[in-house]
Structure 1
Amino acid sequence: MSNSTYVLDDKLLASTGTRFLNYVLDLVFFLITLMAFGILIGILSSLFGLTSVVQSLQELGDLGWNIIVIIFSIIYYTVMEGLFGRSIAKFITGTVVVDENGERPSFGTIFKKKFVSFNSF
């Protein structure tokens, strides 16, 4: 995404249906990425004989896995939206991430937005 400024009007704003589609598609791509990361960890631990890593991951429990998923999610969205101004779903639907002024938000702003969204549960 370029550093251009967008004019915030009804044409630029994503509809509720588009936002929901972005959410569903992002969730699917996030889960695929998370599974690929898990497979990569499994392959690397097998290749280098790091069975203690796999055993530690198996013993994490629900709280440990929830923390890993939240951290991984924050990193995923911050990197995607910070580097490209879009997540994979937003590329598909043709939407972009902008702030209230129609400008590209900074990495810090995106990180804070994602971090706060997990505190609302």
Structure 2
Amino acid sequence: MKNKEFAITENVLASQGQRFLNVIIDSLFIYILVLSAGTTIVLIGEATNNFAVSGWVENMNFVEIVAYGLLILFLYYFLSEVYFSRTLAKLVTRTVVVRSDGSKPTIKMIFIRTISRFIVFESLSYLGGISRGWHDSLSGTYVVKKEKLAKSKHYFQHPEEFGRVE
């Protein structure tokens, strides 16, 4: 009896190198977003003579800075993965977030995925031979190589074409 449903296999998963590069690129981009948003708020506050707002940004305490950074981080990951199934880094590394059947994740899955990033030591969940982090396994999502996923799905749907020379 044939398997009727496509499933993600090991060969389409993003490599640990790609995952590491995703973390580096996304972290840099989030840092730029945090600085840009803060600078924009200050400039708007000063342009509108609302010095309370610009003063607040300029004099944020540690807790406010962390909360502000976490809000930006949450919005970046959640919105980009909900709308595009990828972040800027995943665009660069040609990877994408999918469900176990290769389809686009639900909003609930992306929400769980994003919230899971806040677990202490979550970033260490990649150490060893595991190519899925806690935010992947808790949300039921996978980060895969986009082109390999497309080919695998194509050959799954058209097995008669497998092995043909293009």
Indicate whether the TM-score tops 0.5: yes
Partner residue in 1 for 2:104:
104
Q: CA 1:49–1:6 in structure 2 vs 1: closer, same or farther (change >3 Å)? A: farther
Partner residue in 2 for 1:46:
46
User: CA RMSD of the aligned region, Å?
Assistant: 1.9
The TM-score, its normalising length taken from structure 1, stands at 0.85
Q: Distance in 2 between matches of 1:96 and 1:58?
A: 37
Q: Distance in 2 between matches of 1:119 and 1:63?
A: 18
1:1-121 equivalences under 5 Å are 7-121=7-121
Residue type of the partner of 1:36? S
Q: Distance in 2 between matches of 1:92 and 1:8?
A: 21
Percent sequence identity is 27
Q: Which runs of 4+ in 1 moved over 6 A?
A: none
Residue type of the partner of 1:76? Y
Moved more, 84-93 or 110-119: 110-119
Residue 37 of structure 1: CA displacement?
A: 1.2
Residue 117 of structure 1: CA displacement?
A: 1.9
Larger radius of gyration: 2
The TM-score, its normalising length taken from structure 2, stands at 0.64
Q: Distance in 1 between matches of 2:114 and 2:91?
A: 19
Q: Name stretches of at least 5 consecutive residues in structure 2 with no aligned partner.
A: 122-166
More strand as a share of residues: 2
Residue type of the partner of 2:24? V
How many residue pairs get matched?
117
Q: Distance in 2 between matches of 1:54 and 1:45?
A: 5
Residue 68 of structure 1: CA displacement?
A: 1.0
Q: Distance in 1 between matches of 2:87 and 2:10?
A: 21
SS in 1 for 2:86: coil
Residue 57 of structure 1: CA displacement?
A: 2.2
Residue 74 of structure 1: CA displacement?
A: 0.5
Does the CA-based 8 Å contact 2:90-2:96 persist in structure 1?
yes
